[in-house]
Amino acid sequence: MQIEINGNALKLITGDITKQETEAIVNAANGTLLGGGGVDGAIHRAAGPELLAECRQIRQEQLNGEKLPTGKAVITKGYRLPASFVIHTVGPVWSGKEGKDKLLADCYRNSLQLAAAHGIHSISFPSISTGIYRFPIDRAATVALSTIVEFLDSREFGEVVMTLFSQSDYEVYEAALKKLMD
Ligand code: AR6
C-alpha cells in the first residue's frame, strides 16, 4: 500500500529491513547500542563489525558513556548494508501505560528529524517496540503512522517505508493507515 502526503510517499511493505535500499534504515535498538536480538541483531549481522565499533564510539563520545534514552535517536553509517545510514532509536518497553505512546511517537519523530538534518530523503522503519518490547501492534501501528503522517504533512521529505516482517503485521498496519486516512 502506498499513499501520498503533501508530495511525499508513505509505503507499507512486507520484507527484511536489512535488504532495503532506502538511504537510511532505522534500528529498534536498546539503550546500550551494543546490539541484541530481533531486528537489531539482524542489522548488526548484515552491516558487519564496523557498525558495533561506531556504536561504541557514539556511547563514549556523544553520550559520555551513558545509555541512549528511550525515544531518542543517533545516526551511524550503514557499512555492508545497502542503506548508507542506520538510525538507531530505543523504543519503550510495553508496561500497559498510556504514557508509552508518547515515547514511541518520539522514536519516529526524532528518527525522521535526524534523517532530514542529514539530508536523507528516503528511510525504512521496522515496527519499533512490537517484538521483544511487547508493545501491542495495533496500538503501535496507530502511533507510528500518525507520527509519520504528521511529519510528512509538515515538510518536503521524500519517502518513508514501513517494513513489516510478517503478513499479519502488514495487515495491522494497513488497517491502521486506512482508518487514519478516513
Ligand atoms: N526486518 C524487519 N523487521 C524485523 C526484522 C527484519 N530483519 N527482524 C525482526 N523484525 P524487535 P523491539 C521485526 O524485537 O520490540 C533487541 O534485542 C519483528 O518481527 O526487533 O523494539 C534490541 O536490542 C518486530 O515486528 O524490537 C532491544 O533489546 C519488530 O521488528 C529489543 O530487541 C521489532 O521487534 C527491542 O525490542
Q: Which CATH class is domain 2-181?
A: alpha beta
In percent, the amount of the chain with pLDDT more than 70 equals 100
CA of 131 to the centre of ligand 1 (A): 5
* Amino acid identity at 38: G
Q: What is the structure's pLDDT at 181?
A: 93
Question: Which residues touch 73 (CB under 8 Å, ≥6 apart)?
Answer: 26, 87, 88, 89, 107, 110, 111, 114
pLDDT at position 96 over 90: no
Q: What is the ipTM of this complex?
A: 0.99
In percent, the amount of the chain with pLDDT more than 90 equals 97
Distances in whole angstroms, Cα of residue 162 to Cα of each of 1, 51, 96, 123: 10, 22, 24, 9
Q: What is the structure's pLDDT at 31?
A: 98
What mean pLDDT value characterizes the chain?
97
Residue nearest to atom 23 of ligand 1 (CA): 36
Residue nearest to atom 5 of ligand 1 (CA): 39
Q: What is the structure's pLDDT at 98?
A: 74
Q: What is the structure's pLDDT at 170?
A: 98
CA of 145 to the centre of ligand 1 (A): 17
pLDDT at position 112 over 80: yes
Q: What is the structure's pLDDT at 89?
A: 99
153 flagged as catalytic: no
pLDDT at position 92 over 80: yes
Closest ligand 1 atom, residue 137 Cα: 25
Place of cell 559520555: 64
Q: What is the structure's pLDDT at 58?
A: 98
* Residue 3 β-bridge partners: 10
